[in-house]
Amino acid sequence: MLLHEFSEPDRCVVGTVGGPGERAFYLQVRKGNAVISMLFEKEQARLLALRLGDLLEEETATGAPEPPATPDNGPLDMPLAEEFRVMRLSLMWDPQQRRAVIQAWSRGDDDDQDAETTDDASEDEPSVSVRIHLDVPHAQEFVRRTLAVVAAGRRTCPLCEQPVHPSGHICPRANGYHRLR
């Protein structure tokens, strides 16, 4: 397994490429000239931000408030080269360093053991993992930006909670009678 570790990254953001309904989500981390961009799903981004927000709230409730990090609303670093698709994420808290630790893997739990389900190209590629350590202010900024990026997509139907396509929406919960535009 190939492990990339970013102890104090210069930047760690979620960003997108494409328009609403066709966006590709990336988790991108940079330290100096080293940039890694990982493709992942919108729901992974949303859940990671929500869980990280909960973790920060739990772990920092008793401590003194820390000054916020500078907001990062910039685009993803270019050129954008996808290192791998995130198949598994974990989130931890390092109490000694008071840092959140995000780890992303290119393979799921059982991918290494079940070689029959992989194609020949992926068998030759090593499993890749990226571990990112974020201090409290940078983790809080990561949560803020990620939730904003996720919310910037298509609006959702109030009845079925599915995305509303720009050309309209036929709601399955209303048997198609409730049309949204």
pLDDT digits (tens, 9 = 90+) for 25-39: 999 999 999 999 999
What pLDDT does 113 receive? 47
- Tell whether the model's pLDDT for residue 44 goes beyond 80: yes
Q: Quickly state the pLDDT bin for 107 (edges 50, 70, 90).
A: confident
- The predicted pLDDT at position 172 comes to 79
Average pLDDT over residues 117-126: 54
Q: Which domains does the chain have, with CATH numbers?
A: 2-155 (3.30.2450)
pLDDT score recorded for residue 169: 76
Q: What is the pLDDT of residue 91?
A: 97
pLDDT at 179: 56
CA 87/CA 13 separation, integer angstroms: 18
Structure tokens at 21: 């309904």
Residue-wise pLDDT for 154-178, tens only, equals 777 878 877 777 777 778 777 765 5
Two tokens, residue 71: 């907001």
Neighbour-count burial of 180, counting CB atoms closer than 10 A to its CB (0-12 exposed, 13-18 middle, 19+ buried): middle
8 A C-beta contact, residue 91 and residue 52: yes
> What pLDDT was estimated at residue 1?
85
pLDDT at site 4: 95
pLDDT for residue 121: 46
d(CA 29, CA 35): 6
17/168: higher pLDDT: 17
Task: Give the residue ranges of DSSP H helices in 60-177.
Answer: 120-124, 136-151
pLDDT band at 180 (very low <50, low <70, confident <90, very high): low
Tokens of 57: 């709230």
